DNA sequence: CTAATTATAGGTCAATCGTCCTAATGCGAG
DNA sequence: CTCGCATTAGGACGATTGACCTATAATTAG
């Protein structure tokens, strides 16, 4: 029954390594070394590299849902919840500075490799997208809800890319402020 | 003297392949096959893979400067010039849909690999950044010029990432429209 | 306790990676 | 024409890749 434990450790290590160095750059051997396990044992749990990737994506989805649940518990106002998402980039700044947004960079790599798991990776974004859409609906923006959700996702992605490229924390802070103010104006009923 | 010709063909092919499949996924052999050249000949022109990358980046910088020069010749109004940049994503949509923004995805990969050429790749963005900054200065936004330039770069990057991830052309068009309207408001003297 | 199942270790495989080398060309200057 | 340099071809290298296999150790079931 310790199989599940080993499996989880593999997924956890793979998750980290894929975030730090990218999927293609992450090898069987590297993961096995981190988990301190033989490559043979590794193969017992995952037959192919893509299977690990899918397991990692599934775990990221689970973590994402869990994080969203926390936001919902911490704040009842939709606008405050959305700001939680907006501010992730500042909370995780040290890591984002060096390795970018975990979701965005993975999707970029999947797109570039025309990888079969492209759709699954996109699914992480979809969780955020649907949730943001729901929050905007609660704010009374029925029709534009999805468009606004995509706008927030897109805005954050751009900031993550440019801030990590230029290692520009100040820029990230400025943009987060702008996003919050934009959201406030949206809440008080002005046009976008 | 045909050495320069072969060298240019190598750079051209490498440029394409790196854009399509990413730097790490692009091998010596693949490039050599495309150029129809032996790997030995390849080594005569470029000793290491990083040398090819740097040559590709340099060419992209040259192409970037050339593109900017065209914009300056086509439009005298800074706002119209900036719109040229904003609209690239729609002009190159078929390719961006499948492979993302050439600059952004390369910088992302360099960041992820902690690659020595990270700074050089960032230089392509810097060309756009400085040029956009100059255009905003011409529009009378002296102090905020650089911040506005980064804002435009960031906005475009986000749209490119999300649009390519979700293969969403409609979203890209919407965002480009928003960016143009935002720019118009900025031009007519309203606040950002 | 024993048998069966689960889990781990470690070796092997062909393919590919970046790199390097030498031999054979092409070609222009004298 | 010939000498010498520039260019090309193609093989070989050690290392690493994802994948696979078998033998052993650990655990569980009866």
Question: What token pair was written down for B96?
Answer: 């961006």
The CATH H-level superfamily of A1-47 is: Homeodomain-like (1.10.10.60)
In chain B, domain spans: 1-47, 60-187
Nucleic strand D near CB of residue B43 (< 7 Å):
yes
Does the pLDDT value for residue A192 go beyond 60? Answer: no
Which architecture does CATH list for B60-187?
A: Orthogonal Bundle (1.10)
Pairs of CB atoms within 8 A across A/B: 129
By the CB < 8 Å criterion, does A24 face chain B?
Answer: yes
Measuring alpha carbon to C1', the residue closest to nucleotide D22 is: A40
By the CB < 8 Å criterion, does A185 face chain B?
Answer: no
Which architecture does CATH list for A53-187?
A: Orthogonal Bundle (1.10)
Cα distance between residue A131 and residue B64, in whole Å: 39
B180 falls in which pLDDT band (50, 70, 90)?
A: very high
In 3-state terms, what secondary structure has residue B150? Answer: helix
Give the per-residue pLDDT at B189: 63
Q: How far is CA A71 from CA A66, A75, A102, A139, A178, in A?
A: 9, 6, 19, 16, 21
Cα distance between residue A184 and residue A181, in whole Å: 5
Q: Scanning the structure block, which residue is given the tokens 């979701």?
A: A103
For the segment A101-121, the average pLDDT, to the nearest whole number, is 97
Nucleic strand D near CB of residue A5 (< 7 Å):
no
Nucleic strand D near CB of residue A39 (< 7 Å):
yes
Residue B78 CA to its chain's centroid (Å):
20
The region that residue A38 occupies, defined by phi over 0 for left and psi between -120 and 50 for alpha, beta otherwise, is beta
Cα distance between residue A81 and residue A93, in whole Å: 19
pLDDT in tens, A23-76: 999 999 999 999 999 999 999 999 999 999 999 999 999 999 999 999 999 999
């Amino acid at each position: 029954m310790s199989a599940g434990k080993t499996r989880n450790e593999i997924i956890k290590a793979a998750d980290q390594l894929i975030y730090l160095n990218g999927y293609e750059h992450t090898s069987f051997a590297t993961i096995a070394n981190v988990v301190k396990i033989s490559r043979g044992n590794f193969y017992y749990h995952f037959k192919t590299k893509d299977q690990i990737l899918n397991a990692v994506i599934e775990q990221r989805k689970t973590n994402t849902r869990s994080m969203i649940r926390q936001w919902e518990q911490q704040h009842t106002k939709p606008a405050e919840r959305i700001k939680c998402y907006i501010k992730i980039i500042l909370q995780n700044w040290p890591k984002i500075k060096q390795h970018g947004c975990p979701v965005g960079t993975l999707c970029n790599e999947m797109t570039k490799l025309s990888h079969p798991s492209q759709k699954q990776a996109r699914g992480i974004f979809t969780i955020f997208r649907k949730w943001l859409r729901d929050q905007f609906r609660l704010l009374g923006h029925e029709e534009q809800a999805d468009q606004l959700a995509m706008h927030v996702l897109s805005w954050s992605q751009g900031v993550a890319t440019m801030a990590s490229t230029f290692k520009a924390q100040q820029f990230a802070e400025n943009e987060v402020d702008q996003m919050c103010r934009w959201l406030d104006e949206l809440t008080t009923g002005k046009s976008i």
